[in-house]
A and B are shown apart, each in its own frame.
Chain A
Amino acid sequence: MQKSEFYDILMETLEIESVDSLNESTVLTDLEEYDSLAVLSLIAMIDEHFGKRIPGTEFQKITTVKSLMDLIGVDFE
Chain B
Amino acid sequence: MRTENSPYSLSGKTIVVTGASSGIGKACAIAISRMGGRLILIARNEKRLKAVLKQLSGTGHTVFSQDLVQFDALADLIKTAAETGPIFGLIHAAGIEMTLPLRNMHYTDYEKLFALNVTAGFELARLVSKKKIRDPSGGSYIFISSTMGLVGQSGLVGYCGSKGALIAGSKAIAAELASYHIRVNCICPGHVQGTLMSDQLFSTLSEDAGKAIINAHPLGLGEPEDVAYACVFLLSDAARWMTGAVLPVDGGYTMV
Residues of A within 8 A of B (CB): 15, 17, 35, 37
Q: Are A15 and B176 in contact (CB under 8 A)?
A: no
In the assembled complex, how far is the CB of residue A63 from the closest CB belonging to chain B, in whole angstroms?
23
Task: Tell me the chain B residues, 107-143 only, with Cβ under 8 Å from chain A.
Answer: 130-132
Q: Are B176 and A17 in contact (CB under 8 A)?
A: no
For residue A15, which residues in chain B have a CB less than 8 angstroms away from its CB?
130-132
For residue A17, which residues in chain B have a CB less than 8 angstroms away from its CB?
131-132
The 7 listed contacts between A and B (C-beta, < 8 Å) are A15-B130, A15-B131, A15-B132, A17-B131, A17-B132, A35-B179, A37-B176
A-B contact count (CB 8 A): 7
For residue B179, which residues in chain A have a CB less than 8 angstroms away from its CB?
35
In the assembled complex, how far is the CB of residue B172 from the closest CB belonging to chain A, in whole angstroms?
12
**Minimal Cβ-Cβ distance residue in A for B132:** A17
In the assembled complex, how far is the CB of residue B33 from the closest CB belonging to chain A, in whole angstroms?
31
- Bound: A17/B130 CA distance, A: 11
- Bound: A15/B131 CA distance, A: 6
- Bound: A15/B176 CA distance, A: 15
- Bound: A15/B133 CA distance, A: 11
- Bound: A14/B176 CA distance, A: 14
- Bound: A62/B131 CA distance, A: 24
For residue B176, which residues in chain A have a CB less than 8 angstroms away from its CB?
37
- Bound: A17/B133 CA distance, A: 12
In the assembled complex, how far is the CB of residue A6 from the closest CB belonging to chain B, in whole angstroms?
19
**Minimal Cβ-Cβ distance residue in A for B176:** A37
For residue B131, which residues in chain A have a CB less than 8 angstroms away from its CB?
15, 17
For residue B130, which residues in chain A have a CB less than 8 angstroms away from its CB?
15
**Minimal Cβ-Cβ distance residue in A for B129:** A15
- Bound: A35/B178 CA distance, A: 14
**Minimal Cβ-Cβ distance residue in A for B130:** A15
**Minimal Cβ-Cβ distance residue in A for B179:** A35
- Bound: A17/B134 CA distance, A: 13
Most buried by B among A15, A17, A35, A37: A15
In the assembled complex, how far is the CB of residue B82 from the closest CB belonging to chain A, in whole angstroms?
14
Task: Tell me the chain B residues, 149-194 only, with Cβ under 8 Å from chain A.
Answer: 176, 179
In the assembled complex, how far is the CB of residue A3 from the closest CB belonging to chain B, in whole angstroms?
23
In the assembled complex, how far is the CB of residue A56 from the closest CB belonging to chain B, in whole angstroms?
16
In the assembled complex, how far is the CB of residue B175 from the closest CB belonging to chain A, in whole angstroms?
10
- Bound: A37/B129 CA distance, A: 14
